[in-house]
Structure 1
C-alpha cells in the first residue's frame, strides 16, 4: 500500500508541476472549447457564403467546409460571425457557470435536492428572457433565418437553459466526487505516513533502552567481550538510526541486523542458550520495512529466555520465496503474573495494519512453557 501511494503521489506531483495543468479546470476547459467552436463555426459560416448549397436569400446554412482564401478575403466578416457565435454559446456557459459555482457546490451540497430544484427554476426564470432578448437581437441570428424568437419569453429559451443545467449536473457531481475521493486518499496517505513516523519514533527509544541495559550488564561483569560488544552495539544503533528512516530495506541487511543482535544478547546472558537462526531467502535483495522482526526477538528475550529458570532455547526461522514472508519465533517461556508485552508488539501490529492491511497474519500461542509467534506477510 505504502509503495503504491508513494508512486501515485510522485506521478501526481510531476503532472501538477506543469503550469498549464495547474491552471486548467473544468470551467476554463469549457470556455476554451466554446471559443474554439465559435472560431471553427465562424470559419465554416464564411466559407458557406455565396455557395448555393448553403446560402440563399432567406437564410445561411453552415456547411461542413473551410475555404481559407474566402476567409482571408472576408476577415471582418469572419471576426463578426465568430464573436456573435461566441455570444450564443456564452449564454449556455452562463448557466453552466452558475451551476458549477453556486447551485451544485452550495445549494445542492448544503441544502439538498429540493432547494436545488427551486433555485435552478429561479435562475432560469430570471435570466432566460434576458439572454433570449440579447440573442434574438444579434444580426447573425437573422442571417441564420431567425434561430432565436423575437419573443424573449418563448418556452424554448427556458428549455435550453434547463437542458444546460440538467446535462452539466452529472458531470459536476462526478468531478466533485473525484475531488473528494482524491482528497480523502491524500489525507489517508498523510495520516499513514504520520502514524508510521510516530511508531518509529516510539520504537527507536524502546530499542535504545534495551541495548543500554545490555551494555550495563556487560560492564558490571568486567567482561573481556565488552569492547567487542560496544562495537557491535554501535553497528546496531547505526542501523536503527539510518535504516529505520527508510521505508524499505533489503532483507539481507535485516537478517544481518538480527544476527548481530542475537550475538550481543548471547554474550550478555549468563545462562546456556540453545540459539538457532535459520534464514532461507530466495531473493536476498527483497525489500521489506525495517525493524519489523526484531520485536518478536526482543520479546522472546525479555519475557521468555531471561525469566526461564531451566534450560532455555530460542529457535528462529525466516523464509521467503519473493511473494510472501514467513517468520517463526519459538522460545522457552515461564508465565509471570502482571506481565505485559510492552509497546513493541503493539506498535508492530499497528505498523503492519498500515503497511499490509489485509495482507498479514500474526499468531501467538503459549503452551507447555513454550511461546510461539508466527508472522505471515503477503508481499504482492
Structure 2
C-alpha cells in the first residue's frame, strides 16, 4: 500500500487531531477533575491512533471506494471498519499493557468493548470529516479564485499586447505619410515617436503609473498627430486633477484619443477639431473626448473598433464601478469614460 501525503496535508491532520484531543480533554476536565492527569494520558494515547487511522481513511481508503470495483471497495471498507473497532480496542489494550492507558472501565465481554470503541471511532470520522470538508471547500474556493485572477491577468495582458501594437501601427502610419511627402517634420515626428516608445518600454510595463505620466503620453501623442495637420485643426486638451500622483493603469486613456484622431479628425475635411477634458477628484475620474466626424445622419450607429472594444474589456477586468459611453451625432463623435478608481478589482 502506497500512501502519499504532503507536509501541508499532514499538518492539517495534526491540527484536527489537536482539536479532537482538546475537545476530549475539556470533557475530562469537567467530568473527572480529580483524575484528570490519568484521563488526559488516555486521551493522548487514543488521539495518536485516531489521527493515523483517519489519515488512512480520508487519504487512501475513501478516494478508492468505487462502484465499478465493488470487491476492492468492500475489502477496503471492511478493513477500515476493523481499524475503527477491533483496532481501536486493541490499541487500548496495548496502552494498558504499556502502562500509558488506565482502564477506568471494565467490559463484561469482548464484543461490548469492541462496540464501545467503535462508537468513539465513528465520532472521530464525523469530527475529522466535517472539518476536512470545510477545509477542502475553502481551498477549492481559493484555487478557483486564484485561477480566475490568473485568467483575468492573462486576458488583460493579451488585450494590452493587442492595443499597444495597434497604437504604434497607427503612429507609424502617420510618420509614413510625412516621409512619403518628404515633409521637414518627419525627423521631429520620429523623435516624438521615440519618446512614446521609451515610455511604453520602460514605464508602461507595470500595473500602475501616475496620472501625470498618462497625461504626458497623451500630450506627446497629440503633438505627434498635429504634425500631420495645418492650422485648421483645433485641439483643446485640459484637465483638472487634484493629485497628479494618483495611480492609473498605463495607457488606459490613450485609446480614446487615438480613436478620435484615426476615425474622426483624420476623416474630417472641414474644420476638424478635438476637445479633451479630464477631471479627477476624490478618486472619481471623468474623461471626455469630443471630435469632428464626417458621418451623416443615416450612419449614426456606432461600430466599435479594436481600440474601443479592447478598452471596454479592460475596464471590465479592472474595475467594478465604471461606464464607457459613445455617441455619434451628425458631425460630432463623443466618448465619455467615468471610473471610480476605488473600485479596482
TM bucket (normalised to shorter chain) is 0.7 to 0.9
CA contact (8 A) 2:233 2:272 kept: yes
Cα distance in 1 for residues equivalent to 2:81 and 2:214: 71
Structure 2 residue 165 is the aligned partner of structure 1 residue 205: yes
Map 1:159-178 onto structure 2 (within 5 A).
Answer: 159-178=119-138
Match of 1:74 in 2: none
Q: 1:363 aligns with which of 320, 325, 333?
A: 325
199 and 287 in structure 1: CA distance in 2 versus 1, 3 angstrom threshold: same
Whether 1:330 aligns to 2:286 is no
TM-score, reference length from structure 2 = 0.80
The equivalent of 2:305 in structure 1 is 342
Comparing 327-336 with 122-131, greater Cα deviation is found at 122-131
8 Å Cα contact 2:264/2:291 also seen in 1: yes
Equivalent residue number for residue 315 of structure 2: 352
> Alignment partner for residue 149 of structure 2, among 182, 189, 198?
189
Cα distance in 1 for partners of 2:207, 2:268 equals 36
Q: How does 1:189-268 map to 2 (within 5 A)?
A: 189-268=149-228
CA contact (8 A) 2:278 2:287 kept: yes
What's the RMSD between the two structures over aligned residues?
A: 3.6
Q: Which runs of 5+ in 1 are unaligned?
A: 1-20, 45-52, 55-60, 65-80, 112-117
- State the match for 1:144 in structure 2: 102
Residue 143 of structure 1, CA deviation: 7.1
Aligned to 2:11: 25
Q: Deviations over 1:219-263 (max 9, x none)?
A: 233333332222111101111222221110000011011011111
Are 2:334 and 1:372 aligned? yes
Rounded Cα–Cα distance in structure 2 between residues aligned with 1:259 and 1:328: 15
Q: Secondary structure at the match of 2:286?
A: strand
Map residues 118-137 of structure 1 onto 2, 5 A cutoff: 122=78, 125-127=81-83, 128-137=85-94
**Partner Cα separation in structure 1 for residue 306 and residue 55 of structure 2:** 55
Provide closer, same or farther for how the CA distance between residues 169 and 151 of structure 1 changes in structure 2, counting only shifts above 3 A. Answer: same
Q: Map Cα deviations across residues 274-319 of structure 1 (whole Å, 9 max, x no partner).
A: 2111111111000000111111111111111111222111111111
Within 2, Cα distance between the matches of 1:131 and 1:148?
Answer: 15
**Number of aligned residues:** 318
Aligned equivalents of 1:91, 1:303: Cα separation in 2: 75
Structure 2: distance between partners of 1:146 and 1:231: 92
1:190 is paired with a residue whose SS is helix
Contact (CA 8 Å) 1:136, 1:148: kept in 2 or not?
Answer: no
SS of residue in 2 equivalent to 1:361 = strand
- Cα displacement (A) at 1:121: 7.4
Paired position in structure 1 for 2:46: 88
Alignment of 1:266-345 (within 5 A): 266-270=226-230, 272-335=232-295, 341-345=304-308
CA pair 87-339 structure 1, distance change in 2 beyond 3 A: closer
> Would the aligned equivalents of 1:281 and 1:321 in 2 still touch at CA under 8 Å?
yes
